[in-house]
Amino acid sequence: MKHLRYFAFVLAFFPGFFALGQGYFTTTYNIAVPLGNTKDFIDKTSPRGFGIEAGAWLNDNVSLGLEFSWNGFYKEYDYDTYHNIDGSTLTLSGRMWRYTNVYPLMGVVKYYLNSDSDFEAFLGAGLGTFIINKRTDFGLYTLEDHQWHFAMYPEVGFIYWFSDATGFTFNTRYNWAAKSGDIDAQSNLGFNFGFVFYSF
């Protein structure tokens, strides 16, 4: 339920962008391919994710926005035996479930290459925080860690405007979060597609 709480929190700030006038609102379905430490923990692509972004155009080529999204990585393991836990003589057998939930809360800047066209390619960057929750369920036991990470991403994408106020958008991002607390640096490659709504 935590992601609902974050979602509600961020949503409360979004209407401010519409007041700027030349604004936009984006909703996307997000897929993420784990990389690095994220992949070491869960090596399965996440099909669970969404993103919302609201922003305003500063001029024809540049927009600023705020983005909140979620990617849920998950993998379950069959019954197995694990020896030498933490270097000791402890051996454990059981089923294991691993979860990594990533909640980016980012400021976003985008530069549009061909703003007069229905097909607008853009380059972007995000800077902010990833709230990351890592959890392992093993038998009846749960190991959980929860941290806020400094994070950033470069992105490349496009918008195809199929009406004056609505467009299809796709972007890909290299999401990176610095080590925080006991959670190592995390990264994934995101593929996000959805709709953009233009606010006049």
Partner 1 sequence: MTQKNNFRTWGYLLILSLPFLLFSCYPGGPEYVEDMDLVATKYDETFDFSKVNTYIMPDTVMPVYDPDYSEDADPVDAQMQKLILDEVEKQFDQLGYERIYDTINGYPDVYVTLSAFTSTYVGYYYDYWYYWWGYYPYWPPYWGGGYYPYYPWGGAVVYSYTTGTVLIQMMDPNHVDMDEQKIPVVWIGAINGLAEGGQTNISERIKRGIGQVFKQSDYL
Place of tokens 């430490």: 37
Q: Which two tokens stand for residue 94?
A: 């059981």
Task: Report which secondary-structure segment, H or E, holds 68.
Answer: strand 62-82
CB of 24 to partner 1, least distance (A): 10
Q: Which two tokens stand for residue 74?
A: 């998950």
Q: Which two tokens stand for residue 124?
A: 């972007």
- Residues making contact with partner 1 (CB under 8 A): 3-4, 7, 11, 25, 27, 47-48, 50, 52, 70, 72, 74, 76, 81, 83, 88-95, 97, 99, 137-141, 164-166, 195, 197-200
The answer to whether 175 touches 151, Cβ cutoff 8 Å, is yes
The answer to whether 77 touches 94, Cβ cutoff 8 Å, is no
Please identify, using beta-carbon distances, which residue of 90 and 127 lies nearer to partner 1.
Answer: 90
Query: CA 74, CA 48: separation in Å to the nearest integer?
Result: 9
CB of 124 to partner 1, least distance (A): 21
Closest to 52 in 3D by CA, of 30, 68, 71, 31: 68
Amino acid at 151: A
Please identify, using beta-carbon distances, which residue of 136 and 147 lies nearer to partner 1.
Answer: 136
Please identify, using beta-carbon distances, which residue of 116 and 141 lies nearer to partner 1.
Answer: 141
CB of 123 to partner 1, least distance (A): 25
Please identify, using beta-carbon distances, which residue of 55 and 176 lies nearer to partner 1.
Answer: 55
CB of 164 to partner 1, least distance (A): 6
CB of 132 to partner 1, least distance (A): 16
Please identify, using beta-carbon distances, which residue of 66 and 152 lies nearer to partner 1.
Answer: 66
